[in-house]
Structure 1
Amino acid sequence: MVSTFHGLELGRRGLAVGQASLTTTGQNIANVNTKGYSRQQVNSSASPSLDVWTGQGAHTGQLGTGVTIDSITRVRDSFLDQQVRDHSETLGQWQAKQTTLDRLETIINEPSTSGLNSAMDGLKSAWQDLANEPDSSAAQAIVKERAQGVVEVAQSMNKSMDSLKNELTEQTQQTVDKANGYLKQIAQLNKSIVNDGNQANDLKDKRDVLVEELSTLMSIKVDEKSNGSYSISLASNNQSLVNGEVVSEIDVQTETDGNKLYGGKLAGLSESIDIATNYQSSLNKVVKDFAQANGMSAMGGKDQSLFIGDAENFNVSELKVNYEASALKKPVATAETSEAAQRDFRKLVSQLGAQSQAATNSVTNHGAALQATENRRQSVTGVSLDEEMANLIKYQHSYNAAARLVTMTDQMLDTIINRMAAR
């Protein structure tokens, strides 16, 4: 026998689902511009039915009891999430390299009227003037001043490259600290999500934002456990970083290629230090060859060498002009060997330009790939105001219909309870 109040229970459940659907839709609309917010939806199903006797002998029928809320879940696509993380990692790596190459282009500053190549050309011109007037003290002084210009430009570039490498080292430490901070926050959110019963949608959104920020710093793999917590490991060697509430912090790797196993921005910074070191070595060799071509002695003094420097352990920062030389003479092989050094410098500049352009193109391409993937993900997980407004109307009609069912059942019960007794 069906309860007299069965219709009221049907309506009550319909009202509950309709109200939850309207509230969830309102939550979506309110967070349309919230970073990392995932669209939520109410998942409902028919509630367990009742067995009732029918006119089919001993067999029973089943009478519906309405609807029940199964869960309120986020709309996410784990495959697209991993693609976004992969693109973010690659983009972070190339952005770090592009920034370094841009800095190196600024330091080398070629082509320019105040760069190293121009300074070397100026010294070449001063030698020609001295060859025309070998006994001219003014021509001698000009050669020394032009040589001092070469030294100052070269040492300024070398000092800037030292500063760049120091900045990259500091930035690496800061990035490691930042990554460890993300790992701790993710572990804490894992704990809160497990405690809240695996349906803490807002906490999961916050965690995913942190995971994506972490993916720009390093290459990671993310696995979601049955209890809702994340297990995060390095993509390169499967080293565990977060396992539930347990965090394994990372350190700056000092050995060769150590930080490159992390991937992401950390790998880009490690490669950037190598790039800056290589260009500094190339610059050191160019300046050494040019100084030797124009005459370099370790002692200086009254001899005829223009530069003072140690050929075996050459260091740009220690190069000096031999101002005590009283009778400078142009070395026999100056023209040929100086031009060779300048060709090497022009080759260095061309290589840097090509490398910088390649990095810029890579950043553009990977940025476009990331944006395209993010657009696809937003089509799944993002909030569409048009869709949510349509849902508002749909759920409002559903709520109104459930309310009408309650009203109608109330009227029926009023007839049975109050009016039938009066007759």
Structure 2
Amino acid sequence: MRSTFMGLETSKRGLYTQQTALYTTGHNIANANTEGYSRQRVNLQETVSYPGVGLNNQSTKYSLGTGVEAGSVQRIRDDFVDRQYRQETSKLGYWTERAKTISQMEDVLNEPSEYGLSKALDDFTAALQDLTVNPENGGARSVVVQRGIAVADSFNYLHKSITQLKENARTEIGVVIKDANSVISQIASLNQQILASEPNGYTPNDLYDARDRLLDELSSYFPIETKNIPSGGNSATNAEGSVTVSLKLKDGNTVKLVDGKNFAQLRNTGDYTPDEDGITPKEMVTGFHIVKVDENGDDVPLNNDWTIEGTETTNKINNFSDLGKLKSLVNSYSYSTDGSGNQDTEKSLYSDMIAKLDQLAMSFAAEFNKLHIQGTDIDGNQGEQFFIPKGAIDGTEISAEGSVIAEDGTVTTADGTVIKPDGTVTKADGTTTKITAGNIYVSQDIINNPDKIAASDSAVGQAEPGNGKQSQKLANLKSQFLSSLEGSSVQTYFEGIIGQLGVDGIEANRMQYNAETLQQSVTERRASVSSVSLDEEMTNMISFQQAYNANARMISVIDEILDKIINGLGRAGL
């Protein structure tokens, strides 16, 4: 027969269990506004009945319950939704960064406006047309010089500004890699803490949440794949174990970044090589490799897919999926698809823009110089290069004073510098500099003496101060189709640059909006599963409170029964 005192134990268990449920409810309410917190639930389970069913208990036809206990405290989470969220976060990270990059370049180009390159070219053309009418007017010649300087300054500004944006991207690549490596090490540290507690039967829900927040952040940098590994020992059934984190590549392969308490670090590689034209040296990202950092802080190659017979190898950057902030930055900066260091400008936004501006400046200057050399100045002298690369190599200004001009317009200066009609400068030491958007400059000789502007089409030696026909040809250059600009004119080529940038911007903003919408949708689904509902928690609180009160009342009833048995029985006749 069951002891009367056993009812006290059953009710006591009920009190403790409902109290645990109330404490968990309070924890949920306290963290209702905590980012990344997952609501927790107490899993109630019956305790073992009495007496236990077995062969030695055949005289008992029934068993009595012994109450309830808190089997575990479980956080509510949907792993499938988490994976979806991280996929959308990687997409959003890529398109947000790309949209920002294009927006910054649009701000620099500032077209159409009263201060952009188009306006400078228009003003230069107008000044040349005025010179056609008044070729003897010194003021008109000075205006042409100043408008030419404005064109060169506009090219210089665009080149310098976009180059600075590119350098900023390079810096940010380093920051993102540093942040990603920090997150990777923190995930491994949390794995270590979880592995230390789970085998003892604990479920560190708050550590799980902290780890998931880090996984969410890591997925914004690049696409990841996760897999949970059981901790073993006396782990609870709802224990989540350690997490293995891998970097997902475009070819479908993965590379481990975190495996239990062990972790790797990301390093980028790059070769410092000049581009094909030898205009300016550019540093490209050629790939990434994974290393282990030893106790001295030195990189140690890992023995996995990223190594060959213990020798560290580099994964080509084009095998990175176009997902995440890191790849977007690399695409904007500059990279080599074959790992050789040769630049691929197909998706390198900054490098592609600089290359197009360089081509525009070089083609415009070359054609302008060609026409200018064919004309004569106010004194009947053959025209010289109007635009040259400023400083050539050493930062000094180039002067054609005392120079010899060949029939094709090539200028050889007194110090041995050779200036070709297209503006290419070869110094006496053999170093060569071509005109780019970054170094285009009006010849100092023409700046000092505007009479050297070749506005006339008269023969050399025949001064015709009133002849402005060559100036008209120079003015018409802006709208002439040039083979060096893919058959476009200077005007249409630049309009094409602006138009393509606008199209790319619209596409990036559209994809960013789509990614935000999808991420928001998944976020709402995630919240419906894991977030704290105060209405629900208040309902649970009332339910657990009433259950607690009922168990307390049960103890009072049993106390009255015991009092009756102890104090009220065995006193017959009194």
TM-score (norm 2): 0.70
Shift of 1:406: 1.3
Q: 3-state DSSP class of the match of 2:23?
A: helix
Distance (Å, rounded) in 1 between the aligned partners of 2:123 and 2:212: 59
CA deviations 1:57-86 (Å, max 9, x no partner) are 746422211112110010000111111111
Match of 2:19 in 1: 19
Residues 98 and 7 of structure 1: CA distance in aligned 2, closer, same or farther (over 3 Å)? same
Distance (Å, rounded) in 2 between the aligned partners of 1:69 and 1:384: 22
State the one-letter code of the partner of 2:329.
L
State the one-letter code of the partner of 1:338.
K
Query: Is the 8 Å Cα contact of residues 87 and 370 (structure 1) preserved in structure 2?
Result: yes
Distance (Å, rounded) in 2 between the aligned partners of 1:297 and 1:121: 18
Query: Is the 8 Å Cα contact of residues 172 and 269 (structure 1) preserved in structure 2?
Result: yes
State the one-letter code of the partner of 1:230.
V
- 1:224-243 matches, cutoff 5 A: 224-227=228-231, 228-236=241-249, 237-243=253-259
Distance (Å, rounded) in 2 between the aligned partners of 1:63 and 1:286: 91
Distance (Å, rounded) in 2 between the aligned partners of 1:361 and 1:76: 31
Shift of 1:259: 4.8
Match of 1:6 in 2: 6
Q: 3-state DSSP class of the match of 2:265?
A: coil
**Bigger mean CA deviation after superposition, 405-414 or 56-65:** 56-65
Distance (Å, rounded) in 2 between the aligned partners of 1:75 and 1:207: 15
Shift of 1:324: 2.0
Query: Is the 8 Å Cα contact of residues 293 and 338 (structure 1) preserved in structure 2?
Result: no
Query: Is the 8 Å Cα contact of residues 94 and 268 (structure 1) preserved in structure 2?
Result: yes
CA deviations 1:329-355 (Å, max 9, x no partner) are 337864564220111000100110111
Query: Is the 8 Å Cα contact of residues 92 and 217 (structure 1) preserved in structure 2?
Result: yes
Distance (Å, rounded) in 2 between the aligned partners of 1:171 and 1:52: 67
- 1:196-275 matches, cutoff 5 A: 196-197=197-198, 199-227=203-231, 228-236=241-249, 237-254=253-270, 255-256=285-286, 258-259=316-317, 261=320, 263-273=323-333, 274-275=348-349
Residues 253 and 87 of structure 1: CA distance in aligned 2, closer, same or farther (over 3 Å)? farther
Match of 2:356 in 1: 282
Residues 57 and 247 of structure 1: CA distance in aligned 2, closer, same or farther (over 3 Å)? closer
Query: Is the 8 Å Cα contact of residues 52 and 61 (structure 1) preserved in structure 2?
Result: no
1:294 pairs, out of 368, 372, 377, with 368
Alignment partner of 1:402 is 2:551: yes
Distance (Å, rounded) in 1 between the aligned partners of 2:172 and 2:152: 30
State the one-letter code of the partner of 2:36.
G
**Bigger mean CA deviation after superposition, 58-67 or 347-356:** 58-67
State the one-letter code of the partner of 1:377.
R
- 1:46-65 matches, cutoff 5 A: 46-51=46-51, 58=59, 60-65=61-66
Query: Is the 8 Å Cα contact of residues 73 and 199 (structure 1) preserved in structure 2?
Result: yes
Distance (Å, rounded) in 1 between the aligned partners of 2:528 and 2:137: 79
State the one-letter code of the partner of 1:22.
L
CA deviations 1:183-208 (Å, max 9, x no partner) are 11111111111212251011111111
Greater RCO, 1 or 2 (C-alpha within 8 Å, sep 6+): 1
Distance (Å, rounded) in 1 between the aligned partners of 2:372 and 2:211: 62
Alignment partner of 1:338 is 2:482: no
Residues 264 and 298 of structure 1: CA distance in aligned 2, closer, same or farther (over 3 Å)? farther
Q: 3-state DSSP class of the match of 1:36?
A: coil
Query: Is the 8 Å Cα contact of residues 96 and 272 (structure 1) preserved in structure 2?
Result: no
CA deviations 1:206-232 (Å, max 9, x no partner) are 111111111111111111121211110
Distance (Å, rounded) in 2 between the aligned partners of 1:225 and 1:302: 81
Query: Is the 8 Å Cα contact of residues 144 and 322 (structure 1) preserved in structure 2?
Result: no
- 1:21-420 matches, cutoff 5 A: 21-51=21-51, 58=59, 60-197=61-198, 199-227=203-231, 228-236=241-249, 237-254=253-270, 255-256=285-286, 258-259=316-317, 261=320, 263-273=323-333, 274-295=348-369, 303-309=383-389, 310-311=423-424, 313-325=434-446, 326-329=452-455, 330=470, 334=474, 337-339=477-479, 340-420=489-569
State the one-letter code of the partner of 2:353.
Y
Shift of 1:52: 7.1
**Bigger mean CA deviation after superposition, 229-238 or 335-344:** 335-344
Query: Is the 8 Å Cα contact of residues 51 and 60 (structure 1) preserved in structure 2?
Result: no
Distance (Å, rounded) in 2 between the aligned partners of 1:89 and 1:11: 52
Structure 2 residues not aligned, in runs of 5+: 232-240, 271-284, 288-315, 334-347, 374-380, 390-422, 425-432, 447-451, 456-469, 480-488
State the one-letter code of the partner of 1:242.
V
Q: 3-state DSSP class of the match of 1:324?
A: helix
Distance (Å, rounded) in 2 between the aligned partners of 1:356 and 1:16: 61
Query: Is the 8 Å Cα contact of residues 382 and 454 (structure 2) preserved in structure 1?
Result: no
Shift of 1:404: 1.2
Shift of 1:302: 7.3
Residues 93 and 52 of structure 1: CA distance in aligned 2, closer, same or farther (over 3 Å)? closer
Query: Is the 8 Å Cα contact of residues 12 and 551 (structure 2) preserved in structure 1?
Result: yes
Shift of 1:130: 1.2
Distance (Å, rounded) in 1 between the aligned partners of 2:49 and 2:10: 11
Query: Is the 8 Å Cα contact of residues 296 and 307 (structure 1) preserved in structure 2?
Result: no
Q: How big is the alpha-carbon RMSD for the aligned residues of Structure 1 and Structure 2?
A: 2.4
Shift of 1:31: 0.7
Distance (Å, rounded) in 2 between the aligned partners of 1:337 and 1:302: 19
Query: Is the 8 Å Cα contact of residues 216 and 265 (structure 1) preserved in structure 2?
Result: yes
Query: Is the 8 Å Cα contact of residues 372 and 385 (structure 2) preserved in structure 1?
Result: no
Distance (Å, rounded) in 2 between the aligned partners of 1:58 and 1:225: 47
Query: Is the 8 Å Cα contact of residues 223 and 230 (structure 1) preserved in structure 2?
Result: yes
Query: Is the 8 Å Cα contact of residues 287 and 341 (structure 1) preserved in structure 2?
Result: no
CA deviations 1:144-198 (Å, max 9, x no partner) are 1111000001001100111111100000000000000001111111111121225
Query: Is the 8 Å Cα contact of residues 131 and 471 (structure 2) preserved in structure 1?
Result: no
